[in-house]
Structure formats: structure tokens, C-alpha cells
Amino acid sequence: MRALVALMLIVSLTGCADDIDPTAPIDATVTITATGCRNTLGRGIGTIIAPGLILTAAHTLAGADSITVDHHRRTLGANIVAFDPTMDLALLTIDDRSLASVPLTTNPPTTQTAPGTTGTAVVRRDDRLVSLPVTIARRVTITTEDMYGNGEVVRPGYELTADIEPGDSGALIVIDGAGVAVIWSRSRRTDERAWAIDPIRGGDTIRAQLNDGIDASIDTTRC
């Protein structure tokens, strides 16, 4: 099973954007609900990047003992198969492999090409999914605390110009039919300023976990 899932991720990383249906980002987006951690509730956005495989932000799953995803008003159970609190990235699996997917890019924006690059992110507004315009301001190295506030970590990513709201964490930024970054946080001081994590440069741990399983030292249920 792990080998099959790992193979699907490899396919997603080498997919051709020219073959992608332009309606796929909305069709491939799910709303994630995680319960647990003293009955707290986490909500976020995830994107199906290969059959049965969802990429999202790890912090929306912290402390979860039950995870469900809503796909166009259909609710499915989900399981964590990769979880990186340092990069704040996670992968979930669902049983239904027939749903639309959006592959990750093989050509992420560089320091030179990133500024001014435009794309979209599917988010939830007024109980429906909409495509939100997103502009990459620049490629950055994000210095922050890890998910649990235990020390400084460095994450590769992008600074964004976009109207990001609470609950948008985990949404995939799609450019030319392929995913390039996972929305992580927004500025509390500057309107329409936000940040996203690069799952290509920052994805070594989740790719390894997908193949070999989550290391016992990583506690996915920790609040």
C-alpha cells in the first residue's frame, strides 16, 4: 500500500499541466475537519494531488483523533500518512480514488520568476468553494517557530498578495494547472499579505514518510 501511494505521489510530481482540466482545482478541493485534542476543532482546506491523496497544512490536523473531508457535500473519512511539523505539511488518504486531482508542479517559481506570477487558490466563502486570485510577491525563506512553539524553524516558501482569511490554511496555490505552494499564514498587520510553503523544496520529509511510514518520534496527535 505504501509503495502504491508513493508511486502516486511520484506521478503527481511529474504530471503535465497541459493535460489538466481547468475546472479541476475546485473539483479537487476538500474541506478538512479534525476533532480531538480536548474536543477542539480544526478546519482547513486540502487538495487532492493524486488519486486518494490529499495535501494540506499540518497545523490544521494537530491533536486530531478523527479526520473527515467534505467533498462537495459528501463526507469521507481520512487518515494521516505523512506529517511534518517542521515544514507544516501533511498528507491524507481517502478511499475514493475517482475524484479529480491537481498535480504538483515540476517547475516551481524561482527567485527570478516568482515576483508577479499569478494563480488561484480554492477557498471556502459563505459555505461554497471559490477561486481566489493570488499573486506571488517573492520567493522567501520563512523563519518561524515550529507548530508546537518549541523552537525556530526555517521553511522555503513564497510571500503572497491575496485576500487570505482564517480557515484558508492548507489551500493549494495553482499556476498553469499545477500546484506550487500551500497557504500557511496571513499577516495580522498588512492587508492582503500572506505566506505559503513550498511543498517541492520543503517536501523531503513527507515524501519519505509516504514511502516508509511516519517516524515514531513524530506525534501527530500532539496539541
Label residues 159-174 b or e (16+ Cβ within 10 Å = b): bbbbebeebbbbbbbb
Rounded to an integer, what distance in angstroms lies between the CA atom of residue 132 and that of residue 164?
9
Does the pLDDT at position 218 exceed 90? no
**What ranges do the domains of the chain cover?**
2-101+203-212, 118-197
CATH value of 2-101+203-212 in 2.40.10.10, 2.130.10.10, 3.40.50.2300, 1.20.120.140: 2.40.10.10
Looking at residue 6, its pLDDT comes to 47
Tens-digit pLDDT profile for residues 2-20: 444 444 444 444 344 445 4
Domain 118-197: give its CATH code.
2.40.10.10
Q: Say if 2-101+203-212 and 118-197 have the same CATH topology.
A: yes
pLDDT band for position 127 (50/70/90)? Answer: confident
Residues 206/91, Cβ–Cβ less than 8 Å: yes
| 85 to 15, 165, 206: CA distances (angstroms) | 27, 22, 10
pLDDT at res. 1? 47
In the predicted model, what is the mean pLDDT of residues 54-73?
A: 92
pTM (two decimals)? 0.89
What's the whole-number average pLDDT of the chain?
Answer: 88
- pLDDT digits over 88-110, tens only? 999 999 999 999 999 999 999 99
Distances (CA, A) of 199 to 35, 55, 68: 25, 9, 22
pLDDT, residue 76, reads 96
The model's pLDDT over 130-179, given as tens digits with 9 standing for 90+, comes to 999 999 999 999 999 888 888 899 999 999 999 999 899 999 999 999 99
**Model confidence at 200: pLDDT above 90:** yes
